[in-house]
């Protein structure tokens, strides 16, 4: 599929994240105005609340775009999703409808420079589940802690492993992240102590936005799960590795994960990613029938992790990988989540699990890049890192490469702040 031309000239660049082929959805605000729904086109944001108010677009009787989240629109269903995308494509296409391009006053009001806008969390996150579904990551971590012969648990090649996280601490890109406190127990100590995390890490993931739910007790197929997905974001599941090492057995991550998860501000729809579908990898064991995919369910999305320290003048890329490295697709994960009768809701967020490739420079976490802290990363500034230090800014980004265009996600970034001063625990 080639580049679709728009009369918004910045959308026709081969390097923009937001051509007409993309049309991702977000929530933005401008000075003195409330957050509302918009769509990215080139270096601009199209104000959907304004177009709805002027009658240029409509989804029915009640307005849905003057809200600071996309949940109400998602709840309208797939037909509404398709109609909006078709309408926006027509309004923004070169040679399309003149309802917007032919109205200079409306154009001036409804198109906002991205540089003049503040982005907000695009949905109300109803629930958050994180998976552990990247084989290279799971193998690397398992090798570090259990040895190469026991790297993958016996169930890993048969089942998408996951755990429930905290929706309350999912934040939008640009939100500063406070270093967490918790219990830590060094290998040489007999008992734990309490203090700031010393092994703070990123996890390079994709996030899935669930746009349609199922009833409690009613499982869904992989095909149905795929249709339930509204879109994708980039996700950083921040991790306190030393807190995690002490607490994760026998029930898994808790305080090590719940302090923050960051997502990129733009939801790239499943429709925009359709040309980039690809298959999951070959498997040693055939999956059980309920998990088998009837068509390609992964996507070819280039991903990147860069780090900027306070002492550096610019960020440095530490890792490049691709979403197609995942062992389980989002549709398989969603199917498995619901198969026992779990009710999935509009606004649920699923994390893919850390995405790593086979090579060292394709690893999606600092735990892997520094091999558990045993191989420090030397930066261009001369500084070294095993894990994140206060003042460091971690940025994740990604795009799918088309024929002369990109379908991009924008940045998923966060700066690390020092831990809070411990309170007086006797009060």
CA-CA distance, 396 to 45, in Å (whole number)?
Answer: 21
Residue among 88, 64, 89 at smallest CA distance from 75: 64
CA-CA distance, 414 to 176, in Å (whole number)?
Answer: 5
The residues, any chain, with a CB within 8 Å of residue 426's CB and separated by 6 or more, are none
CA-CA distance, 65 to 53, in Å (whole number)?
Answer: 9
Determine if residue 176 is left, alpha or beta; phi over 0 gives left, psi from -120 to 50 gives alpha, anything else beta: beta
CA-CA distance, 241 to 250, in Å (whole number)?
Answer: 16
Cis peptide before 250 (omega within 30 of 0): yes
Phi, psi values for residue 143, rounded to 5°:
-65, -40
Catalytic residue list contains 137: yes
What is the DSSP annotation of 134-169?
BHHHHHHHHHHHH-GGGSS-TTTTTS--EEE--GGG
Cite the DSSP H helix spans in 93-134: 98-101, 104-110
What letter would DSSP give residue 55? T
How many CA within 13 A on the CB side of residue 397? 16
CA-CA distance, 2 to 121, in Å (whole number)?
Answer: 31
Give SS3 for 83: helix
Residues belonging to the chain: 427
Residue 421: how many CB atoms within 10 A of its CB?
Answer: 7
Residue of 136, 137, 336, 337 marked catalytic: 137
Cite the DSSP H helix spans in 117-269: 135-146, 222-228, 241-247, 255-258
CA-CA distance, 43 to 259, in Å (whole number)?
Answer: 32
Give SS3 for 267: strand
Q: Which residues are catalytic?
A: 137
């Amino acid at each position: 599929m080639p580049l679709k031309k728009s009369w918004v000239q910045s959308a026709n660049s081969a390097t923009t994240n937001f051509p007409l082929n993309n049309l991702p959805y977000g929530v933005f605000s401008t000075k003195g105005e409330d957050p509302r729904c918009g769509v990215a086109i080139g270096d601009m944001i199209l104000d959907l609340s304004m177009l709805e108010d002027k009658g240029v677009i409509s989804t029915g009787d009640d307005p849905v775009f003057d809200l600071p989240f996309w949940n109400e629109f998602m709840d309208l269903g797939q037909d509404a999703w398709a109609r909006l995308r078709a309408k926006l494509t027509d309004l923004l296409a070169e040679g399309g409808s003149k309802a917007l391009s032919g109205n200079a006053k409306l154009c001036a009001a409804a198109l906002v420079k991205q540089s003049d806008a503040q982005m907000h969390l695009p949905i109300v996150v109803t629930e958050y589940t994180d998976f552990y579904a990247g084989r290279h990551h799971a193998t690397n971590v398992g090798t570090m802690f259990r040895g190469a012969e026991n790297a993958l648990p016996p169930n890993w090649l048969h089942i998408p492993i996951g755990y429930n996280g905290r929706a309350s601490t999912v934040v939008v890109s640009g939100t500063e992240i406070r270093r967490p406190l918790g219990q830590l127990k060094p290998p040489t100590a007999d008992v734990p102590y309490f203090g700031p995390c010393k092994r703070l890490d990123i996890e390079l993931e994709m996030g899935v936005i669930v746009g349609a739910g199922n009833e409690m007790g009613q499982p869904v197929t992989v095909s149905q799960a795929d249709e339930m997905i509204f879109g994708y974001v980039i996700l950083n599941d921040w991790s306190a590795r030393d807190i995690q090492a002490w607490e994760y057995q026998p029930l898994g991550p808790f305080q090590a994960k719940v302090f923050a998860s960051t997502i990129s501000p733009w939801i790239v729809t499943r429709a925009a990613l359709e040309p980039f579908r690809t298959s999951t990898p070959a498997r040693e064991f055939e999956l059980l029938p309920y998990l088998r995919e009837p068509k390609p369910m992964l996507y070819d999305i280039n991903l990147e992790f860069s780090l900027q320290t306070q002492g550096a003048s610019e960020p440095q890329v530490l890792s490049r990988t691709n979403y197609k490295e995942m062992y389980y697709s989002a549709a398989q994960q969603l199917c498995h989540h619901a198969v026992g009768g779990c009710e999935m809701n509009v606004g649920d967020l699923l994390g893919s699990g850390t995405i790593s490739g086979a090579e060292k420079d394709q690893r999606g976490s600092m735990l892997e890049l520094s091999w558990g802290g045993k191989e420090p990363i030397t930066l261009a500034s001369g500084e070294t890192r095993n894990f994140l230090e206060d003042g460091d800014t971690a940025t994740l980004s990604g795009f799918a490469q088309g024929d002369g265009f990109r379908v991009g996600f924008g940045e998923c970034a966060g700066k690390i702040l020092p831990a809070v001063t411990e309170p007086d625990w006797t009060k």
